[in-house]
Amino acid sequence: MSPRGIIPHAILAALLVLTTGCTSTKNRAVTLRLSMIPTMNPGKIIRESTPFIDYLEKETGEKVELTVPTNYAAVVEAMASDRVDIAYLGGFTFIQACARAGVIPLVQREKDQTFHSLFITQPDSAIRSLGDLKGHSFAFGDVNSTSGHLMPAYFMRQRGVDQAVIDKAIYTGGHDATALAVANKKVDAGAMDEQVFARMIKEGKLSESQVRIFYTSPSFFDYVWAARQGLDRGMTERFANAMLKLNQGTPEQQPILQFLNASKYVRAVDASYDPLRQAARDTGLLK
């Protein structure tokens, strides 16, 4: 073949490579990897998440993938190993993820700024206060839960509850499991998330004829959506803005807010969690 015939073929080959490369880049799917701590049954969270995921895909322009593991620690591990981009964390798992991977707080529900743990027992129980817990069985949720373990245990120690109650407590793995353990008299009392309690009552999964609140803790900062440190800034802002735009007055957004058990989102600030960091250090749960 003559040199005159080679040149057009070379140019054509180069153009094909360039065209293929551009098409590949343009069509490459970017997936925003979300995860949530299992405050309730993971399967239930996944089943009810469709409106939320659809909304985020529309607002961010990216494919969104949600995972909910069976324990809180798995979410922290996934964030630390860059297998998750943005996660819904409790206050305690947030400060753990900060210590391990420098995660960045984005948004939280307005109610998360004044959160409480509820202490529950059976309606006919003799337990009326924290001081009555001595000699009784007790349940926490996940060992890494803020409102289901860290802060209840912290307030129990502050108020002089017998250490044996804390040391011998069982861990149910989730707030709903704690509520049912108390309702079914597997334990005498337990501590749980106030919002999960309210939701279970509303959905008929729990009745006030089964459990009674005998103590409500002081308030503390809790749940927060946080991003891994290396995530694209534009992506974090698109996600944060999508959450901040959620409005109860918009009918199509009501199922999303119901799923998130939220009414309004606000910007989250890392320093707000310093009291939790101190509580975790005081109880030997954070170095």
Given a cut of 50, whether residue 96 has pLDDT beyond it is: yes
Given a cut of 90, whether residue 84 has pLDDT beyond it is: yes
| Residues 217/117, Cβ–Cβ less than 8 Å | yes
- Model confidence pLDDT, tens digit, residues 161-190: 999 999 999 999 999 999 999 999 999 999
Band (267; pLDDT cuts 50, 70, 90): very high
Sign of CA pseudo-dihedral 49, 51, 53, 59 = negative
Given a cut of 60, whether residue 14 has pLDDT beyond it is: no
HSE (side-chain half, CA atoms, 13 Å) at 30: 11
Given a cut of 60, whether residue 106 has pLDDT beyond it is: yes
Domain 116-216 has CATH 1.10.20.60: no
Could you tell me the residue ranges of all domains in the chain?
31-113+221-282, 116-216
What is the predicted pLDDT for the residue at 287? Answer: 81
Which residue is associated with the tokens 């891994």? 228
What is the predicted pLDDT for the residue at 109? Answer: 97
C-alpha closest to that of 73 among 57, 93, 53:
93
What DSSP letter does each residue of 208-240 carry, written as one string?
Answer: TTT-EEEEEPPPB---EEEE-TTS-HHHHHHHH
pTM as predicted: 0.85
Given a cut of 80, whether residue 25 has pLDDT beyond it is: no
Q: For the domain made up of 31-113+221-282, give the CATH fold.
A: D-Maltodextrin-Binding Protein; domain 2 (3.40.190)
Alpha-carbon separation of residue 35 from 21, 147, 270 (angstroms): 32, 19, 20
Domain 31-113+221-282 identical in fold to domain 116-216: yes
What is the predicted pLDDT for the residue at 212? Answer: 98
- Model confidence pLDDT, tens digit, residues 196-235: 999 999 999 999 999 999 999 999 999 999 999 999 999 9
- Model confidence pLDDT, tens digit, residues 28-47: 357 999 999 999 999 999 99
Given a cut of 60, whether residue 26 has pLDDT beyond it is: no
